[in-house]
Amino acid sequence: MRLPGAACQGGAPFAGGEVGLGVALPAEERVRALHWFRSDLRLRDNVALAEAAARGERLVCAFVLDDRLLGESGAPARIRFLLDCLGRLDADLRRRGQRLVVRHGDPCREIPRLLEQARAGLLTFDRDYAPFARTRDATISRAAEKQGVEVLDCKDRVIFEGSELRTQQGTPYRVFTPFKNAWWRRYREEQPGPIGPIRLPPPVGGLAAGSLPDAAALGVAGDATEIPVGGEEAARRRLRSFLAGPVARYREDRDLPALDGTSRLSPYLRLGAISARTCVDAALELAQAEPKAEPGVRSWVEELVWRDFYHAVLSDNPHVLRRNFRPEFDRVRWNEDEAGFAAWCEGRTGFPIVDAGMRQLARTGWMHNRVRMIVASFLTKDLLVDWRRGERFFYAKLVDGDPASNNGGWQWAASTGTDAQPWFRIFNPVTQGERFDPKGVYVRRFVPELAKVSARFVHKPWESPAPPADYPAPILDHASRRLEALRRFEVVRSG
DNA sequence: TGAAATGTTGGGGCG
DNA sequence: ACGCCCCAACATTTC
């Protein structure tokens, strides 16, 4: 267990805390605190909330619905998931004598106003690494400090930040493997387990609670995506069931999209319904008790290291959201293939593994990671469409859509990123399908037109003696597009 | 967290 | 018995 103050940069350390959490400061040192919930929608193992609780004589728990973000993302499934998580967070707070105070509007206006209304002396929130958020948070912190409010901006959504892991030269890591090695080294030193239970101070009286809008009010009621149940309890259940079985086979099963071999925790991690710390700690504890599970646990934890890596990359290189990480790739010419892009979006390219993935995304707001790589390779190397268009589409559809990981994944697949797939490595959608979905169970699940095609032809139905009449013929020839991609990317060598 | 082309090796058929 | 060819299997190189 770790004291919460240790995680907060720029804030006073946890002054009262020789013991664990929940040990309040002496009354005279306590203030009215406002915890601003963002992507940390949980009451357990929440660093910034723990700070507010430990230092607060009274506490306001607030959430601001920012229409700019809601509207801009155009992501109805994720908004519905967010509303579900917020409703459950509010219910959890009410069970503990608290409540979620909801405001609608620009946080730069709403947070200072709430601080004033609550006569708060402390503002806490979890640190966000996206450029837009950093600008916003800096503005709000300045305003709060001008009001005489202390601000604690706490590391919470990642285990280690980029600034905590530097190369020998003191520069940010650009390659995953050394980053990962440094991450493990630091993890062994620090052992950053989850923090203990948080005892919440009573609410500040006289503040309008506001109310959560329903899906209709946010214009997402018509969305039919089959999203998971939100909230902290669902997240913890999911972690428990994953650790109780699938994780032991994770290293072998994670690449097989027909199986439920992955944790499916990404939507919960995205909104902080569960913390990465809790996940890693529980997994490593299992590996300790159950050595057979060790390889699976290790490879699963490494996926969370990728998550830290991409947050670090974004934090140190904010330009990646708009531009190629590696500028030499600016010379690559992309296609304006509207018809091809539409076929890709709608899952009717005629390549079963690609179409199954895109239809899984449309139906469930989630896609198996192996298939994400395949469809991303198809868009960027077969259709030769700019990766940013794929990134935007994913961001609009994914329930787990996160700027850092989404951008990292796309720049990896497009070969334009840090430690990316070398540009001459081009996935063959048929080979990938045959290798990772040998019996076609996954593709048939999402592409019912293929139900009657034998396993032999299920990834290349055009070669079947009786191709299904209702499934499209392939929209392109992979072999020739591959050669075209190699020609297009050639310009990164010299110019 | 590739795939395809090219090179090498070795066994077997066969004149 | 021997050389030659074919080709699968595997390894290496190239993109």
**pLDDT tens digits, A461-471:** 999 999 999 99
Measured from the CB, is A426 under 7 Å from any atom of strand B? Answer: yes
**CA atoms in the 13 A half-sphere facing the CB of A293:** 19
Strand-pair partners of A23? none
Question: Where does the pLDDT of residue A495 fall: very low under 50, low under 70, confident under 90, or very high at 90 and above?
Answer: low
C-alpha dihedral (A167, A172, A176, A178), degrees to nearest 10: 0
**pLDDT tens digits, A241-267:** 999 999 999 999 999 999 999 999 999
The CA distances from residue A372 to A155, A257, A360, A409, A414, in Å, are 29, 10, 11, 9, 12
Measured from the CB, is A478 under 7 Å from any atom of strand B? Answer: yes
Measured from the CB, is A14 under 7 Å from any atom of strand B? Answer: no
**pLDDT tens digits, A319-377:** 999 999 999 999 999 999 999 999 999 999 999 999 999 999 999 999 999 999 999 99
Q: Choose among A38, A43, A37: nearest CA to A231.
A: A43
Q: From the CA of A458, how many Å to the C1' of B6? A: 30
Nucleotides of C under 7 A from a protein CB: 15
- First-to-last alpha carbon distance for chain A, in angstroms, is 53
Cα maximum dimension of chain A: 82
Q: Choose among A111, A114, A101, A120: nearest CA to A31.
A: A120
Same fold, A4-159 and A327-492: no
Question: Where does the pLDDT of residue A27 fall: very low under 50, low under 70, confident under 90, or very high at 90 and above?
Answer: confident
Nucleotide nearest to A412 (CA to C1'): B1
Q: Read off the amino acid at residue A119.
A: R
State the Cα–Cα distance between residues A380 and A389, nearest whole angstrom. Answer: 10
In the prediction, which pLDDT does A23 show?
A: 61
Please provide residue A454's backbone torsions phi and psi, each rounded to the nearest 5 degrees: -70, 160
DSSP A229: P
State the Cα–Cα distance between residues A115 and A112, nearest whole angstrom. Answer: 5
What residue spans define the domains of chain A? 4-159, 327-492
State the Cα–Cα distance between residues A322 and A441, nearest whole angstrom. Answer: 37
Residues 6+ apart with CB under 8 A from A186: A160, A164, A165
The CA distances from residue A139 to A119, A146, A415, in Å, are 19, 11, 35
Q: From the CA of A431, how many Å to the C1' of B11? A: 30
Contact present, A449 and A351 (Cβ < 8 Å)? no
Please, what sign has the CA dihedral across residues A267, A270, A273, A276? positive
**pLDDT tens digits, A430-449:** 999 999 999 999 999 999 99
**pLDDT tens digits, A262-315:** 999 999 999 999 999 999 999 999 999 999 999 999 999 999 999 999 999 999
Q: From the CA of A235, how many Å to the C1' of C3? A: 71
Q: From the CA of A458, how many Å to the C1' of B7? A: 33
Report the percentage of chain A scoring pLDDT > 90: 91
The fold for domain A4-159 equals: Rossmann fold (3.40.50)
Please provide residue A332's backbone torsions phi and psi, each rounded to the nearest 5 degrees: -70, 135
Answer whether residue A88 shows pLDDT above 70: yes
**pLDDT tens digits, A207-239:** 999 999 999 999 999 999 999 999 999 999 999
Higher pLDDT, residue A29 or A140: A140
- Beta strands at A56-65 and A8-9: parallel, antiparallel or unpaired: unpaired
In the prediction, which pLDDT does A6 show?
A: 42
In the prediction, which pLDDT does A29 show?
A: 79
Answer whether residue A67 shows pLDDT above 80: yes
Nucleotide nearest to A426 (CA to C1'): B2
Ordered alpha helix ranges (H), A272-293: 276-289
Q: Choose among A371, A378, A303: nearest CA to A344.
A: A378
**pLDDT tens digits, A394-426:** 999 999 999 999 999 999 999 999 989 899 999
Nucleotide nearest to A486 (CA to C1'): C15
Q: From the CA of A374, how many Å to the C1' of B11? A: 39
In the prediction, which pLDDT does A228 show?
A: 98
Measured from the CB, is A434 under 7 Å from any atom of strand B? Answer: no
The correct answer on CATH 1.10.579.10 for the domain covering A327-492 is yes
Nucleotides of B under 7 A from a protein CB: 1-4
State the Cα–Cα distance between residues A59 and A54, nearest whole angstrom. Answer: 10
Answer whether residue A2 shows pLDDT above 70: no
Contact present, A8 and A155 (Cβ < 8 Å)? yes
Question: Where does the pLDDT of residue A176 fall: very low under 50, low under 70, confident under 90, or very high at 90 and above?
Answer: very high
Q: From the CA of A403, how many Å to the C1' of C10? A: 43
Please provide residue A469's backbone torsions phi and psi, each rounded to the nearest 5 degrees: -70, -25
Nucleotide nearest to A424 (CA to C1'): C15
Q: Give the catalytic positions of A in this structure.
A: 303, 306, 334, 369, 387, 410
Residue A209 burial by CB count (10 A; 0-12/13-18/19+): exposed, middle or buried?
A: exposed
Q: Averaged over A378-400, what is the pLDDT?
A: 97
